[in-house]
Amino acid sequence: MEQMLTMMIVDDRAIDRAILRGIFLSEYNIVEAGDGDEALKLLRSGVHVDIILLDIFMPKMNGFDFLRTIKKEVAFKDIAVVVNSEELDEENEVEALELGADDFITKPYNQRIVRKRISNVVNKVIYTQFKMSHQIDELKFVTQRDILTGLYNRESFYKEAREFIIKSSEKCIIAVWNVDRFKVVNELFGSRLGDQVLRNIAHQLIDLLKDKGICTRTEADSFVFCTTKEYLETLMPKIDRILTGQDHRSPIDYTLQLHMGIYEVNDPDMPVYLMCDRADMALQTIKDSYLVRSAYYSEKLKEDILNEQELVIEMEQALAKREFFVVFQPIVETKTGRTSSAEALIRWKHPVKGTINPGIFVPLCEKNGFIAILDLFVCEEVCKFQREQLNRGVKIVPISINISRINFYRTEFSAKIKELLDRYDLEPSAIKLEITEGAYQDNPKYMAEAIKDFKESSFQILMDDFGSGYSSLNMLKDFNVDILKIDMKFIDDLETSERADNILYSIIQMARALNMGTVAEGVETRAQYELLASMGCDCIQGYYFSKPITKEEFTARLEFERERNYVPELPDVRRTILIVDDQKIDRQIITHMMKDEYHVLEATNGEEAFELLKNNFKSISLIIADIHMPKMNGLALLEKMAEYLYLKEIPVIMITSSGEKECEEQALTRGALEIITKPYDSSLVRKRIGNVLKLSESGNMMRQIQRLRDQNTELPTGRTL
């Protein structure tokens, strides 16, 4: 267990000592004294103290006298002292600092300020103690140590790590720590507090390793340490807490998180800098991962990295040799199944390695900046294709182009796209621009400006992978995009996860309310398509309709649809009505009335209906339920539906027998929108159903009902047939 520092609180007021004790009890061993005289006696009796919180105005021996005394005694002169008082004016502050105080705080205490000031002073103490305990003279310190943290500098670490590995009888490791987004710390809190953060991390490393390893700060926010594999395993619970930000020893109100790469030393003769490089290679594989915080180097990793480096070297030449090419994946209208647009996707056919997965080379292009060139290549290929189609005298469909976040923010890139459109004599409507949701997290301000610029030039903007990040709702609020492309992760679970269904349904409805179009990506099955169609999703993209195809195949597809007036065979997406009645003859009567206009489902009681609703709620447009049924009657079904937000939205028409005014009133009170009575008048039943559906689908239903209630007007639902 880590040894805690000792704090002495010197104050004649018990309440003030209690307040300070409450603030620091979890971090320090606390010693208390009621005045300077008592404090001095405790020190002289041998009580070890690392820091003193000293009140100025006290009886017997005040704070000033106490400071004068201890600063003259060799044993106590290096103890850190922070003075405090209610009346600490400028003259008192100056006098306290001249007498040797390290800082001052005022009453009443602001806990956050007090903690930060004490933390700063304590870190200076630890730093001084570190230098003294290692007996480092100034010259040696400057030449062998990192000035900021007191750790070994890079060259000294290589030397000391070499000796540690040679002398060790156990397998050793080299580990690299890197602080996530450290630039943000400096930007938000300034370099002074940023430096303090780095010193804190250095102190944590020293505390962890003790005499069983050595460490260095190699770069601004990178640390390297060497220890044995066995000792590292014992440290991992503590290290995991540091990496995930749970062990919070920061002077700033910001959760620091780190990643760690580890290299097991199999060849002690390998230069230490190469060992560090391999640990860093492992770290780079997880640097963007939120969940995985540490990784080991492996030979396969080395092989993968070498292969990646080969690809990076070959990219420019591959583009010149036309190894890169563009394919199109059709996007179809949900209602018609006809191609309404397409997405242009980049592919790389290597002469030796064959087709290279975009998931491999696109991230590499983003890392080395080649993506800027590749984006323009795709854009020009699309413009060229659209011009060829227009020259043939055929109507074109817009093709969307993925724009990397690197290019999306650059005004010169926008100018180059416009230049390409001019060169090929195309309108902005010939293409659409896709940007991933992750770009919002990078720089919301620049993203807003870029979207505004493109839209002022009449481009349509699609938000790709919507829902994959943590800022989707903010993005919808802040940015006026035209179309949401819903992340395929939702589609993957669409048939098995009720939560995925709910989220997807909410996104589609939200987009519709904001006048945004929707495209569902990754649709592969008929069941997925039918569900999305019933939810109101505008367009579909995925293998259910087409995989990515060559420009020749895409041209042929468009010609087939155009020349033959192609209408694909689509599933039955008529509105669905659920009829709930224990009497078969009554269900058959309504089914016979409705079957030409609606798809009809049947249930014999409320329990059976509720199970149907849970599995098909998004495809059911209306429920017609009898009040009187066994197991769960119509009123109980209404109450059960009211417990679920997604079921409350489905309109309900209740069936009663003539003269059951009390039942009608109960049904309307519980949320039924209309009443029909037996025996049925088929013409009136159809009209009532049509009216309820029209109100529901227009989105005006609840407003109209509320307006009528506010006016104390009899609702249409109060009438009977």
pLDDT-derived band of residue 719, with 50, 70 and 90 as boundaries? Answer: very low
Say whether pLDDT at 635 is over 50: yes
CATH class of the domain at 576-718: alpha beta
Measured distance CA(634)–CA(586) in Å, rounded: 15
Domain positions in the chain are: 5-133, 146-297, 323-563, 576-718
**What's the angle, vertex CA 251, arms to CA 247 and CA 256, rounded to 5?**
45
Please tell me which of 144-148, 351-355, 488-492, 703-707 the model is most confident about, judged by mean pLDDT.
351-355
CATH class of the domain at 323-563: alpha beta
Say whether pLDDT at 430 is over 60: yes
CA 80 vs CA 50, 107, 153, 532: distances in Å: 7, 20, 28, 67
Say whether pLDDT at 562 is over 90: no
What CATH number matches the domain at 146-297, 3.30.1360.120, 3.30.70.270, 3.40.710.10, 3.40.50.150?
3.30.70.270
Indicate the helix (H) or strand (E) that contains 323: none
According to the model, what pLDDT value does residue 708 have? 38
- pLDDT by residue (tens digit) across 16-31? 888 899 888 888 889 9
According to the model, what pLDDT value does residue 568 have? 57
- pLDDT by residue (tens digit) across 282-323? 998 888 777 889 999 988 887 777 777 778 788 888 888 899
Mean pLDDT to the nearest integer, 709-717: 38
According to the model, what pLDDT value does residue 490 have? 62
Report the chain's mean pLDDT, rounded to a whole number: 82
Task: Give the dihedral sign, CA 222/226/227/233.
Answer: positive
Say whether pLDDT at 440 is over 70: no
pLDDT-derived band of residue 262, with 50, 70 and 90 as boundaries? Answer: very high
According to the model, what pLDDT value does residue 702 have? 44
603 phi and psi, to 5 degrees?
-140, 145
**Contact criterion met (CB below 8 Å) for 530 and 571:** yes
Q: Lowest-pLDDT range, 114-118, 155-159, 406-410?
A: 406-410
According to the model, what pLDDT value does residue 312 have? 78
DSSP tag of 602: E
Say whether pLDDT at 130 is over 60: no
Strands 51-55 and 5-10, bridge-based pairing: parallel
Mean pLDDT to the nearest integer, 472-489: 75
- pLDDT by residue (tens digit) across 317-349? 888 889 999 999 999 998 888 899 999 999 999
According to the model, what pLDDT value does residue 131 have? 53
Mean pLDDT to the nearest integer, 569-588: 79
CATH class of the domain at 5-133: alpha beta
703 phi and psi, to 5 degrees?
-65, -40
The pTM of this model reads 0.54
According to the model, what pLDDT value does residue 145 have? 80
Measured distance CA(356)–CA(311) in Å, rounded: 10
**Contact criterion met (CB below 8 Å) for 345 and 401:** no
Say whether pLDDT at 646 is over 80: no
Residues 6+ apart with CB under 8 A from 593: 680, 682, 685, 686
Please check whether the two domains, 146-297 and 576-718, share a CATH topology. Answer: no
